[in-house]
């Protein structure tokens, strides 16, 4: 009896220790991505400039020469790495929240797709985990489909960061890149565009389900030009992981944010999550709230080389209706009341 009690105690201690280690690994995995999102581009640029002024300048010079040679690679589908996409760190990243990908319909490998991802949130954590890594099994859920998460083109002007992003299948959200993937890369491609962009991020806050979509029609025009099917995607919980100071329209804070958005492409947000060592303190780590990304039914889009505004408006209205229906169908399943309404701005 004494031996059994000792063995049972040791097993309990082992599982307790394992649980604590896994939690720390989850925190580390999320922290590295947050730092990548916020400072990696600037930090790598400064480090490269510093190396140019040292005895190791040849290393920096060789990398810059490679950068010039490789400059257009992001516009041509990038350079994804299945090894990077399958890193164990992304599974810890997934489990921290946790993040889950829900498939509702099959996708044909003979078609190309544009996924409209909503809402943006502060960092688009669900979009990154689901489509730039294999942590939630996107390749198993949608066999034969190659996902490309589109983000600010400015990120691909940053040394090292550009290569890191490309390894996950991330591409610039510009016409050249999207045209190449949808016209010169065969079929079975899915470009994920966070439609609301920086403007939407300014209004994300816990408890709020709103999307910036009424005047966002460029992605519909691209879909028509290439005959790529549109797929609405809604991520329940994306707005719950950070708390943000929302500036009212007309305030000085909102004026500054809009100026940044207009001239630089992103809008600075004042936000906070939890601390590194305690969930009761403020910090840069997101709160561990579940994020569930639901991929809706594809909308068949005809190929029209020069779509008229009437064509764009027609398919945009179908897309908006499909997104609202997707939200209404799954909202109660993922913790929202039946009375919750998706606000479309």
Per-residue pLDDT tens digits for 140-165 = 999 999 999 999 998 999 999 999 99
pLDDT digits (tens, 9 = 90+) for 65-74: 999 999 999 9
Partners of residue 233 on adjacent β-strands: 117, 295
User: E strand or H helix at 230, and its extent?
Assistant: strand 229-236
Amino acid 249: pLDDT: 80
Instruction: Indicate if the pLDDT at residue 6 is higher than 70.
Output: no
pLDDT digits (tens, 9 = 90+) for 196-214: 988 888 888 899 999 999 9
46 pLDDT tier (thresholds 50, 70, 90): very high
Whole-number Å distance between alpha carbons of 233 and 207: 19
Q: What is the mean pLDDT of the chain?
A: 91
**pLDDT exceeds cutoff 60 at 221:** yes
β-partners of residue 71 are: none
* pLDDT range class, residue 276, cuts 50, 70, 90: confident
Q: In whole angstroms, what is the distance from residue 134 CA to residue 126 CA?
A: 12
User: pLDDT tens digits for 92-137?
Assistant: 999 999 999 999 999 999 999 999 999 999 999 999 999 999 999 9
Cβ-in-10-Å burial (0-12, 13-18, 19+) of 8 comes to: exposed
Exposed, middle or buried, 143 (CB in 10 Å: 0-12/13-18/19+)?
Answer: exposed
pLDDT of 52 strictly over 80: yes
Is residue 4 over pLDDT 90? Answer: no
Q: Is the confidence at residue 261, as pLDDT, over 70?
A: yes
pLDDT at 5: 64
Statement: residue 81 has pLDDT above 80 = yes
Secondary structure percentages of the chain, helix, strand, coil, to 5: 50, 15, 35
How many other C-beta atoms are found inside a 10 Å radius of the C-beta of residue 109?
Answer: 15
Residue 9 has pLDDT above 70, yes or no: no
The reported pLDDT for the residue numbered 248 is: 79
CA 322, CA 171: separation in Å to the nearest integer? 26
């Amino acid at each position: 009896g004494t031996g059994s009690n000792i063995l049972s105690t040791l097993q309990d201690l082992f599982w307790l220790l394992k649980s604590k280690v896994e939690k720390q690994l989850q925190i580390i995995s999320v922290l590295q991505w947050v730092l990548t999102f916020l400072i990696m581009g600037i930090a790598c640029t400064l480090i490269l400039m510093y190396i140019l002024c040292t005895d190791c300048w040849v290393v920096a010079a060789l990398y810059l020469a490679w950068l010039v040679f490789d400059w257009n690679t992001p516009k041509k589908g990038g350079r994804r790495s299945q090894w990077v996409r399958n890193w164990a760190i992304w599974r810890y990243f997934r489990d921290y929240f946790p993040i889950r990908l829900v498939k509702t319909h099959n996708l044909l490998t003979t078609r190309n797709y544009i996924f409209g991802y909503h809402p943006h949130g502060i960092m688009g954590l669900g979009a990154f985990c689901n489509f730039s890594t294999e942590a939630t099994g996107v390749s198993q859920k949608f066999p034969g489909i190659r996902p490309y998460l589109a983000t600010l083109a400015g990120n691909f002007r940053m040394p090292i960061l550009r290569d890191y992003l490309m390894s996950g299948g991330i591409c610039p959200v510009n016409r050249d890149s999207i045209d190449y993937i949808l016209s010169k890369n065969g079929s079975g491609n899915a470009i994920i565009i966070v439609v609301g962009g920086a403007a939407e991020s300014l209004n994300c806050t816990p408890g709020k389900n709103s999307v910036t979509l009424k005047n966002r029609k460029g992605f519909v025009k691209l879909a028509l030009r290439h005959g790529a099917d549109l797929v609405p995607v809604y991520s329940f919980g994306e707005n719950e992981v950070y708390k943000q100071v929302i500036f009212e329209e007309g305030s000085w804070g909102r004026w500054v944010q809009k100026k940044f958005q207009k001239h630089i492409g992103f809008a600075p947000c004042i936000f906070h999550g939890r601390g590194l060592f305690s969930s009761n303190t403020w910090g840069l780590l997101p709160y561990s709230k579940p994020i569930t990304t639901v991929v809706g039914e594809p909308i068949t889009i005809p190929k029209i080389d020069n779509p008229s505004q009437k064509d764009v408006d027609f398919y945009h209205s179908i897309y908006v209706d499909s997104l609202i229906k997707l939200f209404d169908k799954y909202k109660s399943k993922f913790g929202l009341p039946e009375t919750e309404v998706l606000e479309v701005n």
